[in-house]
């Protein structure tokens, strides 16, 4: 073999080893992150007892979810879609889904606890959307039909609004999903100091939520005026169609399954 070929092959091997080491470190960091936040410093499990081994399928799922978010910078939408393609068996196994939900709820709750007097809502917001998708999931081939359903988008909208009451909405979201009182005081204080706010999905202005109008077709997008709703329609139309389609498909599946999804 010529010297140039040997040198080229050694270079490929070196890069492959570097890549493998990088992926190994990312997985170790991700694993440490979610395991650390599964356990509360107060010792409370928030009503979600989690027992899981490192080689459990859900453990691998959580590793990849964190890697996709932290290292690949995937949005919630693309993260859940990528995981659905590669790990459909997690979505379609009821006990696995419950374990994922328990883990996500514990992580979000523990991040919200004021360890240093500062509450960061970026991760809890990310996890909240994932939680709602898993809560609403039913055995389907198209995860987008679930992700874009009215139940998912409506429950996620206020958490993702970017309004000044975002902290209040995030605290409410996780408090409703825990049986302990860890978030009670924080949530009650937020309710006293933060009015329910929303953001117009056209001009971006913040208004008290009760004064915003909601698209009567999809029941998701909200606007501060009729003028803003009309101005936003060309951009909103395709999303509106998708939300309505997803809602109709979900309703049909509910009837076929003989159950109601909440």
Q: What is the radius of gyration, based on Cα positions, of the chain?
A: 21
Give pLDDT, residue 10. Answer: 72
User: Which residue is it, tokens 């309505």?
Assistant: 244
Residue positions counted in the chain: 262
Q: 151 with 136: CB under 8 angstroms?
A: yes
Q: 259 with 250: CB under 8 angstroms?
A: no
Give pLDDT, residue 127. Answer: 95
Q: What is residue 223's three-state secondary structure?
A: strand
The one-character DSSP state at 141 is: S
Q: Taking the domains of the chain in order of start, what are their residue ranges?
A: 19-257
Give pLDDT, residue 248. Answer: 86
Tens place of pLDDT per residue across the chain (262 aa): 566 666 677 777 778 888 889 999 999 999 999 999 998 777 899 999 898 999 999 999 999 999 999 999 999 989 999 999 999 999 999 999 999 999 999 999 999 987 544 567 889 999 999 999 999 888 777 888 888 888 899 888 888 877 888 889 999 999 999 999 999 999 999 999 999 999 999 999 999 999 999 999 999 999 999 999 999 999 999 999 999 998 888 777 767 666 554 4
DSSP 193-215: H---EEE-TTT--EEEGGG-EE-
Q: Give me 32's structure tokens.
A: 């440490």
CA torsion, ordered 176, 115, 126, 141, to nearest 10 deg: -60
């Amino acid at each position: 073999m010529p010297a140039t070929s040997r040198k080229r092959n050694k270079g490929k091997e070196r890069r492959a080893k570097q890549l493998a080491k990088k992926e190994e470190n990312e997985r170790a960091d991700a694993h440490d992150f979610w395991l650390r936040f599964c356990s509360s410093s107060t010792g409370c499990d928030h009503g979600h007892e989690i027992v899981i081994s490192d080689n459990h399928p859900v453990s691998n799922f959580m590793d990849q979810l964190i890697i996709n978010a932290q290292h690949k910078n995937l949005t919630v939408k693309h993260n859940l879609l990528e995981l659905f393609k590669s790990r459909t068996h997690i979505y379609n196994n009821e006990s696995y889904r419950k374990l994922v939900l328990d883990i996500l709820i514990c992580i979000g709750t523990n991040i919200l606890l004021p360890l240093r007097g500062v509450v960061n809502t970026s991760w809890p917001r990310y996890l909240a959307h994932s939680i709602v998708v898993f809560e609403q999931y039913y055995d389907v081939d198209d995860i987008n039909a679930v992700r874009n359903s009215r139940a998912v988008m409506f429950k996620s909208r206020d958490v993702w609004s970017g309004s000044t009451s975002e902290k209040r909405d995030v605290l409410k979201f996780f408090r409703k999903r825990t049986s302990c009182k860890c978030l009670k005081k924080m949530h009650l204080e937020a309710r006293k100091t933060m009015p329910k706010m929303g953001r117009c999905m056209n001009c971006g202005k913040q208004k008290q939520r009760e004064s915003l109008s909601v698209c009567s077709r999809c029941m998701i997008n909200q606007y501060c005026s009729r003028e803003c709703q009309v101005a936003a329609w060309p951009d909103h139309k395709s999303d509106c169609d998708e939300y309505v389609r997803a809602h109709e498909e979900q309703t049909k599946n509910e009837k076929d399954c003989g159950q109601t999804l909440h």
